[in-house]
Structures are given as C-alpha cells and as structure tokens.
Structure 1
C-alpha cells in the first residue's frame, strides 16, 4: 500500500490488524478470519488454475471488506472492532471515512492492474459486487426504522435480500474472482458465485447469533450490540413470527422510549431464545450451506479444492467470532 498517503496508509494498516495507532507493527492485532481470501484462492484452484493467479482477487476482496467494516462501524456506532477501538474511535470519524475510501481505491487499482487477459472481467465482477454491498447496507439501515410487527414490518424474504447483498455478494465475488482469474468459463463462474452467495447468507445468520449471544472476549464486540441498536436480525424476526404470550411480551419490550439497558437486553435475548429464534437461525444457516454445497456439486471442480471449500463451509457454521 505504498501508493497511499502515509496517514491513510497508517489507518489502513491499523484497520487490517498490521499495526497499532503509532504505526508500529502489532503482533497482537487481529487480521480477521481470512475467509474471503481463502475463497478467492480456492476458486482458482477449484477450476484447475494455480492459486497464485487469484492473489490480486484475494487482496482486492480483503481491502474492500475492510473498507466496508470501517464505514459500517461509523454508521452503526460500534466502538470496538476485533477487540480494539474501531478506526473512527482511534482516529476520528472523518479520517476513518477517508481510510475506507483509500482501501476501496486500492482494491480497484489492484484488480485493474492484474496482468493477463482476465483483468477486465474481474473488475466488472467487482463493480457489480460493490453496488450490491451498498444496496444491502442501505436496506439494513432502513430496516432499523421499520416496525417490529404489523404493517411495514420486515419479513423473512426482505431480510434474506438484505443479507444476500450485504454479506453474500462479497463472498460470492471472492470465489468467483478466483475462477475468473483462473480462466474458468462463465457457467462455472456463475455457479461458484451462487455457492458463495448462499455461504454468505449462512455467514450472516451466524453473525446474527453472535451479535446477541456471542462472547465479547471472542467476538471483540460489546454483548447485545445488535439488540441495543434495534437491528432486524433473523433471530428476532423468527422469534416474533411465532406469536403467543412470549412473542407479545417480546414485541412490547422492543419499542422502549430509551435504548435497552444491560438487564433489559439480557431479558430480550432470553425471550428470543425461548421463542426459538436462535434455533431457527441455526437452521437457516444450515439450509443455505446445503444449497451452497449443492451448487458446488453442479460444477466440475478439482477434488482437493472442492473438499477444502466444503471444510471452509463447515467452519462458517461452527465459528465463534
């Protein structure tokens, strides 16, 4: 990232977990889960190409993922990211926006400068994904202002549309970019992208579980953060869908005049679990993983890479952060 301004480069390195706020290399910084980079490399290997062919795609998706986290933390008011102050907390809101923009520009540059004849197709795939990401984030923010029940409430299909754009699009793009840069035919690229999108829906479902019941020491985020913001997550929607006394109690608790305090948030979380929201969300994640695996079987992939993709899918369901 030597082409970045030193200040934005410092913030980007902090966001990526490479350094602390003084620019000193930080061995304790988290570089994230590496799912998107792994998908890009495996996408190339799955179509019989060298994983090295996918490195520009892997770099680009990680940069754009980090860009999206920088901006998401500002929009959601999240003060922590990966057990450290979020970039906007460490440097300020304006600088964090600028660092995110720099990462996005760097991602586009990385792909556009990829040697060989597949760069243009890779950039087109990437641009479609960026539009989807913005759409999904817009839906997510708008959902916060919609009622929990009755006319105007968010339905399961609307939730899935949001999750597919916000989370599924980039995972689908990651594996598709690997295939594109590996020279795969369009049909194979489309199949792999579909598998990645369903993986993303499963990923988001697990994120929703962790947002309510995750261990802050592991997730790096405050407990019940999604509840306090009124996020329309799958566990909440599934819990409310059942009706009955507990569902009515939950609905009443979700429209307080003030944000939920720790005790109220814990009570809401317990009600959501009692109403089956947690179990329903795990089931939702499994359904999308099954669909993703079926899509993989529809493609002609190398055996080793297909097995590694399957193992990555299992990790998504079982992860704790």
Structure 2
C-alpha cells in the first residue's frame, strides 16, 4: 500500500480548505485584492472566474502534517501551520517571478504580467501577512499558546533565511567569483530551510522533546539539500524524456549550479569557455566534456548521497511511528531516488 499517496490526498484537501479560509475564498467573485492571490493559487482565472489549476503534490505542507502524525500527534492540529508554510512559499514565488522576469508559472501567465509589478508586489506582501494569520489559527485547533508562539518565531526566522537565499541567488547572477561553499549556503536558505521548518513544526506541534524536534528539522534540511543537488545533476546529465525539460538548459544559460561551480574551481579551460558571450550546442558539449574530466558529476553525486544518508539517519533517530512513518520513507524515496 502506498501510505504517502493515501494520507497525502486527505491532507492536501485539508490544507487547501484552510488556505481558502485564510484567503477569504467565497462563492461570489472576489475583489481584485484577494482575486489576484486566488489566481496565483490556481483557484481563479484571469477574469477571476472559478478555475482548478493543478497545484502539484504540495510536498512542503504535507511533510509538516506527516511529521506531526509520525511524531505522535494529530495531523489535523497542524493544518494551520501547513497552510502557513504553503502561503509563505507562494508569497516567495510571486516575488521571485517579478525578480526573475518570469512570464509563466504552472503553464499560466504570472501575476505581474497580468496586473503589473506594483500590484503583484502588493499581493505578495499581503500573502506574507496572511501566512502569519494562518499560523495564529493553531490556537483554534487546541495547540498551546506557548507552542504557537515558538512556531511563529521559527516561522519568521525561516522567512529571513528564505529571503537571504533569494538575495544570494540574484547576487550570483552578476558575480564571477562564486564558490561551492557560497552556493551551498545559498541553497540552504533558498530551498532547504523551508523543508526543515516543515518537519520541525510538525514534531513541535506533536509535543515532542527538543532533541526529537531537532532530528526532524535536520531530516528536512538534509532532504532539501539532497533534492537540490540531485536537481543540479539532472539539469546537466538527466534524461530529457524523464525530467521533462532540456538537459542542456542549465549549461546554455550558464546557470551557476553545483557541478558547474566545482568545475570552474578545478579547470581554467572551463573558466575561459564560460567567458564566451554566446552559447550553442558546441558550447554545451565542450562544457560537459570538461565537467566530466574534472569529476564534477562524481563530486555532486557524493554530496547528494551524503545529504540523503544524513537525512534518513536523522529520520531514523527521530523514531517516527505508524502509517505516517512509512509515508515519510516513501516521500523521501520519491525525492531522493531519482536516476542520477
């Protein structure tokens, strides 16, 4: 039986219902203020009429609820925290789309391309504030006020780390001297800390001791690091028919991923190649050849394996139990056991 599939389906429904309550979703057509947020979430179209755009597996909030249940709590109590995490994530996406000048997301126009940058920035700001209000609803689910305040503090600390990661990511676009350590610090903030928060808050709301909560947090952190490093590997050497995108895009755009930064630190020929203004298929093939020669793929694979094993080690140390424990193992396998 696939416990993850079974549990996550019910959990996603509860998370969506909670987010809709926080974002004031009613049957009548919303005003533009809430309507823009509803559009971004996939609940409305450009005319603010009802829509149902696939929001994906909602891995982050589901991880929070699975951790709560596996740590001995009731996942229903943690639903406000899961909703808050998903809203925080989506606030960052609204702003990321503006910062990256991205015209589409999930196959639709991005918020800013329809209503302008100013309104989109404001919509993101509103979603950030509403994410906090979502977290306050923990008390309504019977969570102790002291626990809710602790959760809010960790939520805000993670928000700072998340935006620091985005700052570094944008800064790297114009920097030539980005090191592997710089990159690992960036993905820790941009990707891993939010997954860490998901698992941490789940265990916290379940009433676990500090050591167990930290094991769940470290499980999520290393899970996020492993996931990103695997993505970096697939972005260069992945099977296009499996990953669903061109495996040469990261090279063509000179994206500073882990294998590229490792290669640049090891090989002057790659440094000279990356100084070229234009890129083409020949550029891609030459770059990959040099990366193979430097051992960049092996280095990234070793790091991915280390983060994966560390994540699973902390999960084991947390001693999860019940069907949610099996679901966490299945989720980890889904994220980590990709062909790289």
Which among 118, 136, 140 is matched to residue 169 of structure 2?
A: 140
> Residue 270 of structure 2 contacts residue 287 of structure 2 at CA under 8 Å; is this kept in 1?
no
Instruction: State the alpha-carbon separation in 1 of the partners of residues 211 and 196 from structure 2.
Output: 14
SS at structure 2 position matched to 1:12: helix
Q: Which residue of 2 aligns with 1:150?
A: none
Rate the CA distance shift 1:217–1:82 in 2: closer, same or farther, 3 A: farther
Q: Which residue of 2 aligns with 1:128?
A: 157
Check if 1:255 corresponds to 2:284.
no
Deviation digits for residues 59-103 of structure 1 (CA, Å, limit 9, x no counterpart): 011111111112122222232322222222233222221221121
Q: Which runs of 5+ in 2 are unaligned?
A: 1-22
Rate the CA distance shift 1:87–1:270 in 2: closer, same or farther, 3 A: farther
Calculate the aligned-residue CA RMSD, in Å: 2.9
SS at structure 2 position matched to 1:131: helix
The alpha-carbon deviation at position 305 of structure 1 amounts to: 2.5
Mapping of residues 81-100 of structure 1, within 5 Å: 81-100=105-124
The alpha-carbon deviation at position 291 of structure 1 amounts to: 0.5
Instruction: State the alpha-carbon separation in 1 of the partners of residues 190 and 225 from structure 2.
Output: 9
Deviation digits for residues 175-203 of structure 1 (CA, Å, limit 9, x no counterpart): 11111222222221111111111111112
Instruction: State the alpha-carbon separation in 1 of the partners of residues 67 and 166 from structure 2.
Output: 26
The alpha-carbon deviation at position 235 of structure 1 amounts to: 2.1
Q: Which residue of 2 aligns with 1:13?
A: 38
Q: Which residue of 1 aligns with 2:24?
A: 2
Check if 1:112 corresponds to 2:136.
yes
Rate the CA distance shift 1:210–1:62 in 2: closer, same or farther, 3 A: farther
Instruction: State the alpha-carbon separation in 2 of the partners of residues 214 and 91 from structure 1.
Output: 36
SS at structure 2 position matched to 1:141: helix
Check if 1:48 corresponds to 2:80.
no
Check if 1:231 corresponds to 2:255.
yes
Which among 274, 285, 300 is matched to residue 304 of structure 2?
A: 285
Rate the CA distance shift 1:173–1:219 in 2: closer, same or farther, 3 A: same
The alpha-carbon deviation at position 312 of structure 1 amounts to: 1.0
> Residue 251 of structure 2 contacts residue 284 of structure 2 at CA under 8 Å; is this kept in 1?
no
> Residue 192 of structure 2 contacts residue 222 of structure 2 at CA under 8 Å; is this kept in 1?
yes
Instruction: State the alpha-carbon separation in 1 of the partners of residues 25 and 107 from structure 2.
Output: 28
Mapping of residues 1-321 of structure 1, within 5 Å: 1-2=23-24, 6-27=31-52, 29-115=53-139, 116-117=143-144, 118-147=147-176, 153-209=177-233, 211-212=235-236, 226-227=250-251, 230-243=254-267, 248-256=268-276, 258=277, 260-261=278-279, 263=281, 266-267=284-285, 270-271=288-289, 274-275=292-293, 276-318=295-337
Instruction: State the alpha-carbon separation in 1 of the partners of residues 117 and 240 from structure 2.
Output: 23
The alpha-carbon deviation at position 231 of structure 1 amounts to: 3.4
Most deviating of 11-20 and 96-105: 11-20
Deviation digits for residues 79-130 of structure 1 (CA, Å, limit 9, x no counterpart): 2322222222233222221221121111111102321312111101101101
Rate the CA distance shift 1:178–1:222 in 2: closer, same or farther, 3 A: same
TM-score under structure 1 length normalisation? 0.84
SS at structure 2 position matched to 1:22: coil
**How many aligned residue pairs are there?**
308
